[in-house]
Chains A and B, each alone.
Chain A
């Protein structure tokens, strides 16, 4: 730490009469970095809104309720919104309980063995696996393995179906749910646990009455954030067969058929429209769909923040 006493440091900071140019320059540089981030964000939003707002304003709710079409003036995102919400619901039902249970196991039940360290390492690695690789997992396990042999040849998942996509996204966000839940559980003071054990509670009773309630805010926030991640994912859906064409409709299906049937989602529609040559798809409809997607993901994130704030105040 010899470097700390630089010759210039003493007089400057002690007298305070001369301006610390190096310090100011550094401050300016890092402030510029932060501002650049915000400038990118602002430009992005401005570009998307100038491109897409016209469609939303002209078409209004029609854009939100119309089906896919080859004609830009009729095409809408109804099926995409429905697909995205169903996928998100599926992730909530499949990934949250499993992820939270895994976190409880790791933090409350598992001893510090070689095995539990392996599980932890594995989860950290899974969190870093690119989403497109999860798409391949979904393709070979959910679409192919579980999706091809049953009476109707469509298997349990129905092949390239909403169910396959939803399962894939669930697997994708699972490590994120586990990691955020683990962090929240770890943040629960152990004195609370010890108190409960002291009163004769079993491990499960401690988890149920002490750990989960106190970690709830953090778990919830992580869960909702992972939901918004799932809403924005595109690559795994391409691989698990989200619809990439111009027209499809699936009227009057039972819920089971919907799950095992064709689907699309907002990011897929954006991908498809952005690749169209017709400039109205590329430059008007795609950004309009982006606005819808951003609105949904931002609502999701805002809900997380609000829930957390609300909960923390109540507790």
Chain B
């Protein structure tokens, strides 16, 4: 399609006025295109500035003490990283099988009519705001699921937050994987049937490998989304005033994102008056944001590369 658009139309333009208008409009669109670059630049700069002054304001050793208590000057990063890891891990244990299963059913097994009914329902699930899942996590998941799995779990735990996030990202896995599965040409399936393979064999050994790039990408994207999910964890994981290091999913805890939400609900109002506890706590918000930004950026980049490297051209 670019072939047509790039056939320099200016040569064919009649009047000069028309050409000027054409140039002006082109300029407008170019500006719009540039604006997205501006956003990235703004994100990086706004995060970098405060992060640097945060690192300057604190003792670096407070980044690995015991627990995350920003108002007491304890900024132990491992607490938050492990918290994020647990929540994301639990989420993916839920979302990967459910999402892939749903995708395979919708793409390979469901008749068109059934698919037309089921797909929108899945889209409704995808459209549920995360704050609602946060409520659901402490209201239903915690007492009915998590507390049945472990006696010592309270209403708030990394586990119930993780399950909530898992439900949240399942539709993402399902929809991206389904697109990947449906993009596999019919001829591959027909060839497989032609040599006598069963449907399940065809699905698992022909279609699935052919769509692997999209499937892996869907999982990476979901992981990135799970790491960045804030409100479910803020409502369901507890520990909003700061938290001890824990690697037990049934404990309460915080993730990088939930720590940011907890800080923001109190201190973002406080314009980082340097040096004091609240000031450094405020700046730690930006430092966490920077870490989060880098992590998700890396994951998205990897997803991008995976799609490119593993994609098979048909």
Contact = CB atoms under 8 A, between A and B. Distances in A.
Are A and B close enough to touch in the complex, i.e. CB under 8 Å?
A: yes
Interface of A: 1, 3-6, 9-10, 12-14, 20, 22-23, 26-27, 29-34, 36-38, 40-41, 43-44, 47-48, 51, 98, 101-102, 104-112, 116, 118-119, 121-126, 128-137, 139-141, 144, 160, 171, 174-175, 178, 186, 190, 193-194, 197, 200, 202-204, 206, 225, 228, 231-235, 238-239, 241, 244, 267, 270-271, 274-275, 283, 286-287, 290, 293-294, 297-298, 301, 305
18 contacts: A3-B205, A4-B197, A23-B200, A30-B109, A31-B101, A33-B101, A41-B125, A43-B136, A48-B132, A109-B5, A109-B33, A126-B39, A129-B43, A132-B228, A136-B47, A204-B22, A235-B230, A290-B135
Contacts, number: 314
Contacts of A267: 129, 131, 231
A131 B230 contact: yes
Given A102-B32, A126-B36, 17 more contacts: A31-B105, A34-B122, A41-B121, A102-B29, A125-B301, A130-B229, A132-B257, A137-B42, A137-B43, A139-B46, A204-B25, A233-B129, A238-B264, A270-B135, A287-B139, A290-B131, A305-B120
Interface string B101-118: 110111001000000001
Nearest to A283: B139
A137 B44 CA distance: 9
Interface in B1-36: 1-7, 9, 12-14, 18, 21-22, 25-26, 28-30, 32-36
A135 B257 CA distance: 11
B59 to A, nearest CB: 24
Contacts of B197: 4-6, 9, 13
Given A34-B102, A108-B5, A232-B130, A133 B201 contact: no
Listed from nearest, the 9 A-B pairs whose CB atoms lie closest are A33-B101, A130-B228, A232-B129, A101-B32, A140-B46, A105-B29, A190-B1, A128-B300, A105-B33
A239 B268 contact: yes
Contact of B300 (A26, A124, A193): A124
Given A129-B43, A140-B49, A232-B131, A109 B29 contact: yes
Interface of B: 1-7, 9, 12-14, 18, 21-22, 25-26, 28-30, 32-37, 39-40, 42-43, 46-47, 49-50, 97-102, 104-106, 109, 118, 120-125, 127-136, 138-140, 167, 170-171, 174, 192, 195-206, 221, 224-225, 227-231, 234-235, 257, 260-261, 264-265, 268-269, 271, 285-286, 289, 292-293, 296-297, 299-301, 304
A135 B122 CA distance: 28
Contacts of B14: 200
Interface of A is mostly: helix
Nearest to A201: B9
A136 B263 CA distance: 12
A39 B36 CA distance: 39
A137 B40 CA distance: 10
A143 to B, nearest CB: 9
B36 A271 contact: no
Contacts of A13: 196-198
A274 B292 contact: no
A133 B22 contact: no
Given A202-B13, A298-B124, A136 B198 contact: no
A22 B13 CA distance: 65
Given A174-B39, A294-B132, A238 B224 contact: no
A129 B98 contact: no
A238 B134 CA distance: 15
B4 A194 contact: yes
A60 B192 CA distance: 60
Contacts of B300: 124-125, 128
Given A12-B198, A43-B140, A140 B29 contact: no
A32 B100 CA distance: 11
B101 A14 contact: no
Contacts of A301: 123-124, 127
Given A3-B205, A9-B198, A132-B228, A29 B101 contact: yes
Contacts of B206: 1, 4
B131 A111 contact: no
Contacts of A203: 5, 9, 22, 25-26
Contacts of A37: 98, 102, 122, 125, 167, 170-171, 174
B36 A178 contact: yes
B48 to A, nearest CB: 10
A106 B301 CA distance: 20
A235 B195 CA distance: 54
A105 B101 contact: no
